[in-house]
Amino acid sequence: MLLPGLSLASTGFAAQTLELDPSVITGSRSASPSFDLPYSVDSISQQQISDGQLGINASEVLSRVPGLVVQNRQNYAQDLQISSRGFGARSAFGVRGIKLIADGIPASTPDGQGQAATFNLDTAERIEVLRGPAATLYGSNAGGVIQMFSRDGEGPPRIGAETLIGSDGMSKNHLTAEGATDDVGFVLDASRMDTDGYRDHSAARRDQTFAKLNLHPDDDSKLALIYSSLEQNGTQDPLGQSWDAYKADPRSVTPAALTYNTRKSIDHQQLGMNYERYIGDATLQVNAYTGTRSVIQYLAIPKGTPSNNQGGGVVQFDRKFYGGSLRWLQPVAGVPGELTLIGGLDFDQSQDSRHGYNNYIGDQLGVKGALVRDEVDTARSLDPYVQANWAIDDWTLQAGLRYSTMEMDVDDQFLSNGDDSGTKRYEKATPSVSVMYAFTPELHGYVSAGKGFETPTQAELAYSPSGTGFNFGLKPSESTQYEMGLKAQIDNTRINAAVFQITTEDELVVLGNRDGRTTYQNAGRTLRRGFELGIESQLSEHWTTTLAYTRLQATYDSDFASTKGTVDKGNYLPGVPQTTLFAEVNWKPADWVSTAIEGMYRSKVYVEDTNTEKAAPAYSVFNWRAKFEQKVEHWTFHQTLRLDNLLDRQYVGSVIVADGNRRFYEAAPGRSWYAGAGAEYRF
């Protein structure tokens, strides 16, 4: 894993106290103590993000949030798989059904497909995670919300450099500069990560850059300009493993991956602006962004497969995306307590110029061949919403209503008659209401309820069961969510506990998956019931502990037919473990050293709807980390050591749900070591 950004030194490595009541913006739209908010929301601090972690994947820190399951595929061609209370678990690649946002810029497209790799952890100030009914206030495809905020440039200017090496050819080099001059803050960051990968044919190189300027045009306003980029060229994809291949050699690669040299290249760039102005007691917030994303991916669809001629074994698209939001926050005088009304409008559009090619030329395989697909896919959403936040005596009420629309347009430019063209529009009003009561200043209880809906993504609409055209017959799934919780602060310990129930109609599930073509269908009802517990405690000046526990019973609530036969009511949703547990003990005996043990348990995971294929077994893993720091005049030096999977446990780190070739499993690395060092100079 990777050492943290040099910015750690500037934030005061000596401080090891937990922030038991952090302020969060997600949910309430304005900074509020998380203890006073009537729903499940957690904040991960900069210290937790950077202290002895790699700074490469969000999985390093999101595991400490109850309700989330983060599967690191160890496959940079497919990104992380993240689910929140079961939402997003079926995603074969990327993040699906969870709203990802970075500095107000969506990292999710309007149809609900996102990429966590665009999060730059080296520049993160905090990550906020919202779960439950209140997440529906963020529109369609918001089974949960994960929002990252980068830090502002503050204090004397400083520059730094660091390097990391580790198992499987891992290396990362990182340069940074930040600070403030003449009331203009700046953060500049660039890094390169290389790895040979744990499995064969899984090498990757990732370059990230980030730049941010924060200004104050006048006493009543502030402005932030943000640029970021992500580049991966020729990232190798080892594909999934069969159970026998995984057991024989966890590092093994599917032969087809070598035959067709499966790989993926990404070039992602985006520019955003956040503006906030205080007008009397009110606040105006404006956000705008634009960007491009180019992807070319070489799949292992065998030559001669009919679907290869339908969409091609080489997928290429060039995406242009843009959008913005407008929000007004108005405190209301003359009423009991504190009442704030919020009105806003969000607009997002993503347009892909999408092409498909055969992955062969004659007998040469794994190359771009004849064009077999040419279309323009456009997804756009326009969502107005209103929200009220009211605190009166011991009561807190938050209620909102959002009218979400998502339109998918396909312009087929390959067929002369445009047979595969079409337009589909989804729309729905999604209300949410949450009420909290303060039994004592240290104990709060709340109830929350809401409705949401999840539209099919472009990838889920792409292939119809008939084999031609888009699957415009897919309907959105609609959910009803309930949650009850308690929040307690006892001395130096914070406890959050919640029980929840989610019922879903027309759940989107895999109908078939073969030869690189996945088709989807609506499958009736699902039922999810669960319990979450989060505990953070400052045991003493030198010891802190963290625990995150989730128990989730996610089942189908009606029978439905699939290509593998009837899926019975009561079957478990694939990709969703029933039990997850994260625990950490951190010891800081002196100002210059910190060390911790992390432990994680995950119960078995079913891999397809009938629950008849071999489930990925339960596992427990333990990690150790240590960080050291020295200060000499203007210089700050730090070193990081990390050992993952201390007991060298062989286990399945992630699964590919409903893979038609029965390659469901992706092995996690064995025991791995990492060591790094960095230096920072403060002017």
Q: How many CB atoms lie within 10 A of CB 156?
A: 12
Please, which residues have CB within 8 angstroms of residue 182's CB and are 6 or more apart in sequence? Answer: none
Report whether CATH 2.30.30.280 matches the domain 7-682. no
Lowest mean pLDDT among 102-116, 118-132, 255-269, 339-353: 102-116
Over residues 267-311, the pLDDT tens digits come to: 999 999 999 999 999 999 999 999 999 999 999 999 888 765 567
β-bridge mates for residue 567, sequence order: 560
Q: Are 455 and 476 in contact (CB under 8 A)?
A: yes
Give the pLDDT confidence score for residue 13 in this predicted structure: 41
pLDDT of 102 higher than 70: yes
pTM of the model: 0.94
C-alpha count within 13 angstroms, C-beta hemisphere, residue 461: 27
Q: Regarding predicted confidence, which is higher, 132 or 21?
A: 132
pLDDT, one tens digit per residue, over 163-208 is 999 999 999 999 999 999 988 999 999 999 999 999 999 999 999 9
pLDDT score, position 81: 86
Give 305-358 pLDDT, tens digit per residue. 876 556 789 999 999 999 999 999 999 999 999 999 999 999 999 999 999 999
Taking CA atoms, 203 is separated from 75, 195, 368, 414, in Å, by 9, 5, 21, 34
CB 650 within 8 A of CB 670: yes
Give which of 553, 519, 547, 522 is closest to 533, Cα–Cα: 547
pLDDT tens, position by position, 363-406: 999 999 999 989 999 999 999 999 999 999 999 999 999 999 99
Average model confidence (pLDDT) for the chain? Answer: 91
Indicate the pLDDT class of residue 468, thresholds 50, 70 and 90: low
Looking up tokens 């994960």 gives 146
**Could you give the CA distance from residue 644 to residue 584 in angstroms, rounded to a whole number?**
13
Distance CA 600, CA 649 (A): 12
The answer on pLDDT for 1 being more than 60 is: no
Supply 439's token pair: 């039994």
Least-confidence region, from 3-12, 31-40, 278-287, 544-553:
3-12
Residue 90 is predicted with a pLDDT of 79
**Own/partner pairs, 300-305, CB within 8 angstroms, 24+ separation:** 300/239, 300/254, 300/256, 300/257, 300/259, 300/260, 300/262, 300/359, 300/516, 301/260, 301/359, 301/515, 301/516, 301/517, 302/256, 302/515, 303/358, 303/359, 303/360, 303/365, 305/515
Top pLDDT among 31 and 14 is at: 31
Which position has the token pair 């190359």? 367
Q: Which helix (H) or strand (E) holds 377?
A: strand 371-392
pLDDT at 8: 34
Given a contact cutoff of 8 angstroms between Cβ atoms, the answer to whether 226 and 273 are in contact is: yes
**What pLDDT score was predicted for residue 15?**
41
d(CA 108, CA 94): 10
Measured between its terminal Cα atoms, the distance across the chain in Å is 30
R_g (Cα) of the chain, nearest Å: 24
Give me the pLDDT at residue 312, please. 83
Assign 246 to helix, strand or coil. helix
Q: What's the pLDDT score for residue 61?
A: 93
Model confidence over 608-659: pLDDT tens digits? 999 999 999 999 999 999 999 999 999 999 999 999 999 999 999 999 988 8
In this prediction, what percent of the chain has a pLDDT beyond 70?
Answer: 95
Residue with tokens 């030198």: 542
583, pLDDT greater than 90: yes
* pLDDT for the residue 73: 72
Q: Are 182 and 211 in contact (CB under 8 A)?
A: no
Q: Structural domain boundaries of the chain? A: 7-682
Which residue shows structure tokens 């006493």?
Answer: 219
421, pLDDT greater than 90: no
Nearest CA among 445, 439, 440, 337 for reference residue 391 = 337
pLDDT for residue 11 = 37
